[in-house]
Amino acid sequence: MSIEVYHLHLSQSERIVWLLEELDIPYNLHVFKRNPTTALSPDDLKAVTPYGTAPYFRDTSVTPEVTLSESSAIAQYILAKYPASSSGSRMIREPSDPDFAQYLQWFHYANGSLQASVSRQMTIVLAGLGNSDVAKIFMARFASQLKIIEAHLGENKWFAGAEPSAADVMSMFSLSTMRGFSPYNLGPYPNILRWMKDVSERPAYKRALEKGDFGMAPMIDPITRRFTEFPSFKKALESVEV
């Protein structure tokens, strides 16, 4: 196979595994477990990629081979080369599609705004400041983002209209698995919860979790589990209120 994907357990590289499963594209998957104490990338992943992070992507069908490490760049590359699967699954929107602008907005919102906010909150939580005034200020700002997403998904089944797209693939991690490191309550957002349930029922998403995350149950409940199995973060995660 010409595509090599390096995936870190419990990380945003689940996006790439899911996208490839949706498109039914053959690939080799290399799964790495986090350091059991620090939860950071293990040394064997750092030995593969100069960035020491996941996702890491290689396309060996071209010369020189393509290597990418940003999940949005990897997704765009895959969609440009493999826009539709043999089964007909279509995860991209073209300029001629009525949902094209909406697709672009939410595809880039996922990393540009949503993931950035959750990552900031995660940093505050893991620093032991999850119940601080600063954390509450930023959580209030994040809540305004969730309200925007909630309203959008109240009018649209998927992020880019009536059918799933890569905009959904890019968004799911921040609203689900990421909460294990950055706990927050999605109870007030029924449309987001409905959408996550729809995602969790997709065969490609199930396969992605089976292959990349050891059959982990989708983290789609209003309040979900915390990754307290990592000693470095256990105290901080247990103490934060949601």
Helix (H, G, I), strand (E, B) or coil at 16: helix
Give the model's pLDDT for residue 87. Answer: 57
Mean per-residue pLDDT, 38-59: 94
Round the average pLDDT of the chain to a whole number and report it: 95
Tally of domains within the chain: 2
Give a yes or no: residue 72 inside a domain: yes
| Same domain? 114 vs 234 | yes
What is the extent of the structural domain holding 170?
Answer: 99-239
CA dihedral 165, 123, 50, 214 (to 10 degrees): -60
Give a yes or no: residue 93 inside a domain: no
How many angstroms separate the CA atoms of 240 and 77, rounded? 38
pLDDT tens across 162-202, in order?
A: 999 999 999 999 999 999 999 999 999 999 999 999 999 99
Residue 153 reports pLDDT greater than 90: yes
| Same domain? 31 vs 151 | no
Give the model's pLDDT for residue 88. Answer: 61
Considering only residues 29 and 89, tell me which one the structure prediction assigns the higher pLDDT: 29
Say if residues 106 and 171 touch (Cβ distance below 8 Å). yes
Q: Which residue spans within the chain are E strands per DSSP?
A: 3-8, 28-32, 56-59, 66-68
Q: What is the CATH number of the domain that holds 65?
A: 3.40.30.10
Residue 85 reports pLDDT greater than 70: no
- Show the CA angle centred on residue 226, arms to residues 223 and 230, nearest 5°: 180
Q: For the whole prediction, is pTM greater than 0.85?
A: yes
Give a yes or no: residue 92 inside a domain: no
